[in-house]
Chain A
Amino acid sequence: MPAPLRLQGIPASVGYAEGPLFDLDRPPVAYAGKASSAEELKSLKAAIGKAVSRLVAMVETADSDAAGILEFHIAMLEDDALSGPAFASIASGHSADAAWRQALDAEIAGYEASDQDYFRARATDLLDIRDQVLRALTDDGEHAVPAGAILYGEDIAPTRFLQIDWSAGGGIALKAGSTASHVAMLARSRGVPMVVGLGALPAGLAGPALLDAEHGSIVVDPSPMEIASFRESLSAFAARQGDARSFLTRPALTKAGTAVRVQVNIAYPTDVDGIDIATCDGVGLMRTEFLFGKTLPDEETQYRAYRKVLEWAGEKPVTIRTVDAGGDKPVPGFTIQEGNPFLGLRGIRLSLARLDIFRVQIRALLRAAPHGNLKVMFPMIATAEEYERSAALFAEEQAALAARGIMQKMPPLGIMVEVPSVAIAPEAFAGVAFFSIGSNDLTQYVMAAARDNAGVAHLNSVRHPAVLRLIGSVAAFGRENGIPVSLCGDAGGDPASIPVLIEAGLRDLSVAPAQLATAKAAISDVAV
């Protein structure tokens, strides 16, 4: 029996799966050429038809997000403008698969060359469309995936995901992939366990595997002991999920009856589409880095994104963080290359160095503010002067908007507490509207352990007494001075850290939407 192989990635959709590995990237069955151009043409038309009818069947059970993607694929496949060049190429002597691949690759190249993000992203859809027909040509369809299998490979297309019958279990393990992809979104909404970023899996991997998408690991060829412990984790997880669901719709209370506010962290405006506002106390952190992709966003794009979330939340607060680029989040045309980016020009430092970009975001926020209960916070504040300069910019832009007769409102302005200087001497910030503790960065700076370095991961614990003491003193300072204090780092959603955070004096946590139920359940076990 081969030795077990264990790999660590990032959880994209929580859950557990045990089953045989299935290689998503194995070379497709070779296409068998036909005797004449007429037969090649017939075989390509049949394959397109087969791909369309598979898509049509999928639409029937798809939710509106998935149906939108599928209908786009169907419309493309039914358009002669897409297949025309392939048909012409068959007439000049090419085989059906070569003709189709060539025609679609030309189309894909056009999308990839676009200067618009949205359009460039559609190249993935075209690739997906290409491969659906190529699979239909060799009749290598969905039948090949055994029930309950763990699919592994570079990445997986949304239609491939939708073709699979997940009722028998199974999961996804990707070498690359992203927690923000369409597929990750689908996996979360269907409850299919998924791990991304596993890195280089050896080629030709096969055999039984255990996927732990709660912690982000996969074990191939597990030992009997590993199987037993996996099944224990699985049943504990299932029990926790069952218990937790009953907490979701209720306000969070500790055993002693202390109320704890539980808000959500979001990264994209679309994240709120899957959340019932009644299950949370608002948005404790809305990141804005998503807007800063390959191009810098204009004021209108930002305004619409902020307004969408504010309107969704209604009267509940939405705390938007001004752009926190730099560190491990580079943005072309904005951040700079530096030797030690976590200690460099990131967060508010970068915004204050690039006022042209910062002012656009400030105007969008001021204009969005009348549409809900907005609060704005600045990341990476180290000195009171940075806060004062940022607040002054808000006042300047507000006056300019007012002079032009544009509707706007000044939101309460707060700061992230993540640089140790603020946590150690919070009295310099007695004038801010609120504090939000960024426990991930605070921990990495207090422990001098980069959060993206697996070699020092054991040092990166929010439960280290030094980190907890700082959190406790910030909470106490806030209480004494009437400044609300919340925490929006990963620790807020971690059942193992929740008790110590509440003991440290925090009464306001902001967690990933998927952790709402388990966080509330964990709070109910706290004695304080």
Chain B
Amino acid sequence: MSANAEATILITHAVGLHARPSVKFTKLAKSFAADVEIALAANGPWFDAKSIVKVMAAKAPKGTVLHIRASGGDARDAVEALVDLVRRDFDEGADHARSA
């Protein structure tokens, strides 16, 4: 995939990019037309950010630097929105330690 937009963001959520955060992450990714992928390292492997099965399979624990890349019309918006979601700790705030 030749990416039009790329970014990296540190995952601070208590259990990482897992069940509940993944639901939010993939839902948001699917709201964009661009192809979006994530990886735990700059050289991949890359996972489809619109598939929760693939996102869960990435097994990104807390403290991981998540690589996000997208290609297509709204690639820049997609990457920006996803980075923002991770930065907001998936909007789970003080609740993040709850059983997800």
Indicate if A235 sits at the interface (CB-CB under 8 A). Answer: no
Residues of B within 8 A of A122 (CB): 18-19, 56
Residues of B within 8 A of A65 (CB): 98-99
Q: Across the two chains, which residue of chain A brings its CB closest to B51?
A: A81
Q: Using a CB–CB distance below 8 Å, which chain B residues touch chain A?
A: 14-16, 18-20, 22-23, 26-27, 48, 51-54, 56-57, 59, 61-63, 94-95, 97-100
Interface residues on A, range: 20 to 34
Closest CB pairs A-B (n = 5) = A81-B53, A81-B51, A72-B19, A118-B15, A75-B52
Interface string of A73-86 (1 = CB under 8 A from B): 00110011110000
Indicate if A112 sits at the interface (CB-CB under 8 A). Answer: no
The smallest C-beta distance from B30 to any residue of chain A, in angstroms, reads 10
Residues of A within 8 A of B53 (CB): 76, 79, 81-82, 107
Q: Across the two chains, which residue of chain A brings its CB closest to B27?
A: A75
Q: List 28 A-B contacts (CB under 8 A).
A: A65-B99, A68-B19, A68-B100, A72-B20, A72-B22, A75-B22, A75-B23, A75-B52, A76-B52, A76-B53, A76-B56, A79-B26, A79-B53, A80-B51, A81-B48, A82-B53, A107-B53, A114-B59, A118-B15, A118-B16, A119-B56, A122-B18, A182-B99, A185-B99, A270-B98, A301-B14, A301-B62, A311-B94
The smallest C-beta distance from B24 to any residue of chain A, in angstroms, reads 9
Residues of A within 8 A of B14 (CB): 301, 304
Residues of B within 8 A of A300 (CB): 62-63
Residues of B within 8 A of A76 (CB): 52-53, 56
Query: Cβ of A269 and Cβ of B97 under 8 Å apart?
Result: yes
Q: In the complex, what distance in Å separates the CA atom of A446 from the CA atom of B51?
A: 58
Residues of A within 8 A of B59 (CB): 114, 116, 119
Indicate if A50 sits at the interface (CB-CB under 8 A). Answer: no
Q: In the complex, what distance in Å separates the CA atom of A368 from the CA atom of B94?
A: 15
The smallest C-beta distance from A112 to any residue of chain B, in angstroms, reads 13
Residues of B within 8 A of A114 (CB): 59
Residues of B within 8 A of A116 (CB): 16, 59, 61
Q: Across the two chains, which residue of chain B brings its CB closest to A118?
A: B15
Query: Cβ of A71 and Cβ of B61 under 8 Å apart?
Result: no
Q: Across the two chains, which residue of chain B brings its CB closest to A269?
A: B97
Residues of B within 8 A of A182 (CB): 99
Residues of A within 8 A of B26 (CB): 75, 79
Q: In the complex, what distance in Å separates the CA atom of A234 from the CA atom of B20?
A: 39
Residues of A within 8 A of B97 (CB): 269-270, 304-305, 308
Q: In the complex, what distance in Å separates the CA atom of A525 from the CA atom of B31?
A: 61
The smallest C-beta distance from B94 to any residue of chain A, in angstroms, reads 7
Q: Across the two chains, which residue of chain B brings its CB closest to A125?
A: B19
Indicate if A480 sits at the interface (CB-CB under 8 A). Answer: no
Q: In the complex, what distance in Å separates the CA atom of A182 from the CA atom of B100?
A: 10
Query: Cβ of B18 and Cβ of A119 under 8 Å apart?
Result: yes
Query: Cβ of B61 and Cβ of A81 under 8 Å apart?
Result: no
**With A79-B51, A185-B99 as contacts: A68 and B94 at CB distance below 8 Å:** no
Q: In the complex, what distance in Å separates the CA atom of A125 from the CA atom of B53?
A: 13
Residues of A within 8 A of B23 (CB): 71-72, 75
Indicate if A110 sits at the interface (CB-CB under 8 A). Answer: yes
Q: In the complex, what distance in Å separates the CA atom of A301 from the CA atom of B61?
A: 12
Residues of A within 8 A of B15 (CB): 118
Indicate if A273 sits at the interface (CB-CB under 8 A). Answer: yes
Residues of A within 8 A of B62 (CB): 300-301
Q: In the complex, what distance in Å separates the CA atom of A72 from the CA atom of B52?
A: 9
Query: Cβ of A81 and Cβ of B99 under 8 Å apart?
Result: no
Residues of A within 8 A of B51 (CB): 79-81
Q: Across the two chains, which residue of chain B brings its CB closest to A305?
A: B97
Query: Cβ of A110 and Cβ of B52 under 8 Å apart?
Result: no
Query: Cβ of A118 and Cβ of B18 under 8 Å apart?
Result: yes
Residues of B within 8 A of A79 (CB): 26, 51-53
Interface string of A254-289 (1 = CB under 8 A from B): 000000000000000110010000000000000000
Q: A116-B16, A125-B19, A301-B14 are in contact. List 5 more A-B contacts (CB 8 A).
A: A68-B20, A75-B23, A119-B59, A270-B99, A304-B97
The smallest C-beta distance from A421 to any residue of chain B, in angstroms, reads 37
